[in-house]
Structure 1
């Protein structure tokens, strides 16, 4: 049984409510990926290896993986306004703890709490936003929430890198705390009661996993996302220590990376509308080659910079294709599929940053890009497999 959204008549605050949800999504993404830009400072200040500091990303992702399906089931028909406020409160607690962390244990605890908020929020935010607007505006509401996620990914790492270069890394989490409080207040004011007729059941997830096609799509997502974060988690120290770029230049490049990612979202959507399979095939091949280029041209600032931007463009395109695959394959279970996709995505972030950290600690920073390219090569194979399976009908 799938979730019923019981879409209500829009109120004068409907779009402000959608905006509040979108800002919450932005805040969560910013806070989740701040450590990527702060990695050198965290490692230096807490006296740990950079590969170990990468666990600050891994811990959040692993808890996000667990929290998405658990939250979707546990909340049942509970008013979604109350759920979103509770999850945003976890974001506030996590940010304040990170701001005050004096050792790595306290930082990890904060990141675990954040993971619960991330998984739960991502699992229900799109459906909650859809309840606020009439059916013909659901696409626009969903796009606004996704825009929050994209913009968060644009500003998180370069902002962290800039703050880390000019101040104590904890100040970044002070800023995140302020943003989280703002999100909470806006949700409290502008979100109406969002009651549900029925929630997601455990059987919905098992029903999805019975399909070989769905399993193949999720395995493709794992390869793409794990490959991304095996390299991206360590991109700041990589550019500083291997490519030997000044921290201000790194911040600028990472901002450009974020912008290119957003451009990739739109390019991927446009091309996928014309030919979905060919778009995904081209995307993963470009992905592999750009990561290999990062490794091969590591000591050339110009060529490494070009490879970085091509990498960003392909990363922006990739989730669009896999999301469309999943949407087309699960027309009768979209909410359960969204929760599971969130779970798989977060698990893949954790796996990627974990294996990337192991590679960095054992073989050096440059190994992270080679490892990322290798994992993406597996994604190429999975894309061809899914392409053949897509001849099958969608699951009922």
Structure 2
């Protein structure tokens, strides 16, 4: 074997190792989303098993979002100079601990602590994920790598709730969480094997976040992200009452529509991974435009189940492409501070998810489900107007 041949095989092995690490990150995403949203389909039996009200149990489930918000802002400071490989491993271990605590929870207080730990894991993982991906693969391959990672999100969104509901009926809610633990344990081992050493690139602190917020183009993108995700979750959080009250579907049709929406997410990640390339700033208004138009279509055609199914598929595909587009923009325009940018972007998204749910709930209680969806359309329109042609979201001299 010549030296050239050896270099070729070494490079090929390196590429295979990098994609193995990407796949391990994708499995982490799948399990994080499953762990975060699986309890939604198990709310009633969990409340009964813990001797708590459904309302209180629902608050325990949502507490993970609050801790995710705090964790996303603090992770780069707390992680400091630690090797990012071991930070990701530590976060995965924390997810495993949280699942075990939920499965064994003797009371409501333990459930609260377990969900808080999961929130720390969620915020920390998402804040660092894009920066880690930027170090695993070359820049031209980044959209594809991100689409693979977010494919895990689409998989969990499609299957976690219906699978959790079914297994909860057959086995019991605690057994559902026990069933997740061996998969997370395998993921932990996979991280140990597949992730390369990723030394910290200088210590991060809150000053780095403040410095980044002083950049006008980044502030504009951050507000655009909040409006876009806020629009998405104002609609998505209250999708079930819309389908029940307006489309008037039964339980089986409801499950089929939600599954179709989740499956469409695979199309969105696949498409984004293959067609998102070059400077993506002009594409950043596309999710707001398409998802806003789909939501407007639901308002107009909500009583027609076939039209609703088609519109939900369009919405679901663009919803997963949304993350790939914004994270690719970040890698291109904040490449000098990816961890700080990731922290702020994830915090903004978490805040907008909570805010979107609050706004949607107020509109629903005071007016109607149609008003909630109209609020989503307004937020999407504001996002698209703010983004414009994307030029004001570009890094100067980029």
For the aligned pair, the TM-score class normalised by the smaller chain equals 0.7 to 0.9
User: 2:383 is matched with which residue?
Assistant: 382
Q: 1:193 Cα shift?
A: 3.9
- Contact 2:268-2:320 at 8 Å conserved across structures: yes
* Alignment size in residue pairs: 383
Between 1:39-48 and 1:110-119, the stretch displaced more is 39-48
1:321-375 deviation digits (Å, cap 9, x = unpaired): 4344444442432332122212212222222234445556x359x63x6324413
**Unmatched 5+ stretches in structure 2:** 1-12
Distance 1:300 1:285 in 2: 22
Between 1:330-339 and 1:288-297, the stretch displaced more is 288-297
Distance 1:393 1:13 in 2: 33
Between 1:104-113 and 1:19-28, the stretch displaced more is 104-113
Distance 1:327 1:18 in 2: 16
Q: What does 1:41-80 align with in structure 2 at a 5 Å threshold?
A: 46-49=52-55, 55=59, 58-80=62-84
C-alpha spacing 1:130/1:323, structure 2 compared with 1 (3 Å): closer
TM-score normalised by structure 1 residue count? 0.79
Q: 1:290 Cα shift?
A: 2.6
1:125-145 deviation digits (Å, cap 9, x = unpaired): 343355456777666655543
Distance 1:295 1:166 in 2: 37
Q: 1:117 Cα shift?
A: 0.3
Q: 1:263 Cα shift?
A: 1.6
Q: 1:87 Cα shift?
A: 0.8
User: 2:159 is matched with which residue?
Assistant: 155
Q: 1:41 Cα shift?
A: 5.7
Distance 1:161 1:298 in 2: 26
**Do structure 1's residue 220 and structure 2's residue 224 form an aligned pair?**
yes
C-alpha spacing 1:197/1:393, structure 2 compared with 1 (3 Å): closer
Q: What does 1:334-349 align with in structure 2 at a 5 Å threshold?
A: 334-349=338-353
Distance 2:389 2:145 in 1: 33
- Contact 1:10-1:134 at 8 Å conserved across structures: no
Distance 1:358 1:168 in 2: 34
**Do structure 1's residue 179 and structure 2's residue 180 form an aligned pair?**
no
Q: 1:377 Cα shift?
A: 1.4
- Contact 1:264-1:313 at 8 Å conserved across structures: yes
TM-score normalised by structure 2 residue count? 0.79
Distance 2:277 2:17 in 1: 33
User: 1:109 is matched with which residue?
Assistant: 113
Q: What does 1:244-283 align with in structure 2 at a 5 Å threshold?
A: 244-267=248-271, 273=277, 279-283=283-287
User: 1:31 is matched with which residue?
Assistant: 35
Between 1:161-170 and 1:220-229, the stretch displaced more is 161-170
- Contact 1:119-1:342 at 8 Å conserved across structures: yes
- Contact 2:72-2:343 at 8 Å conserved across structures: yes
Q: 1:115 Cα shift?
A: 0.8
Q: 1:92 Cα shift?
A: 1.4
**Unmatched 5+ stretches in structure 1:** 1-8
Over the residues paired in the alignment, what is the CA RMSD in angstroms? Answer: 3.7
Q: 1:242 Cα shift?
A: 6.0
Q: What does 1:1-396 align with in structure 2 at a 5 Å threshold?
A: 10=14, 14-38=18-42, 46-49=52-55, 55=59, 58-101=62-105, 105-131=109-135, 141-163=145-167, 168-236=172-240, 239=243, 243-267=247-271, 273=277, 279-295=283-299, 297-298=301-302, 300-357=304-361, 362=365, 367=369, 370-387=371-388, 390-391=391-392, 394-395=395-396
Q: 1:122 Cα shift?
A: 1.7
- Contact 2:218-2:393 at 8 Å conserved across structures: no
- Contact 1:153-1:258 at 8 Å conserved across structures: yes
Distance 2:144 2:134 in 1: 9
The DSSP-based 3-state class of the residue aligned with 2:69 is helix
- Contact 2:230-2:376 at 8 Å conserved across structures: yes
Distance 1:142 1:277 in 2: 16
1:241-300 deviation digits (Å, cap 9, x = unpaired): 764544444333222111212322344566765995765445423322433444555555
- Contact 1:10-1:132 at 8 Å conserved across structures: no
Larger Rg: 2
C-alpha spacing 1:227/1:162, structure 2 compared with 1 (3 Å): farther
The DSSP-based 3-state class of the residue aligned with 2:54 is coil
Q: 1:86 Cα shift?
A: 1.6
The DSSP-based 3-state class of the residue aligned with 1:384 is helix
User: 1:6 is matched with which residue?
Assistant: none
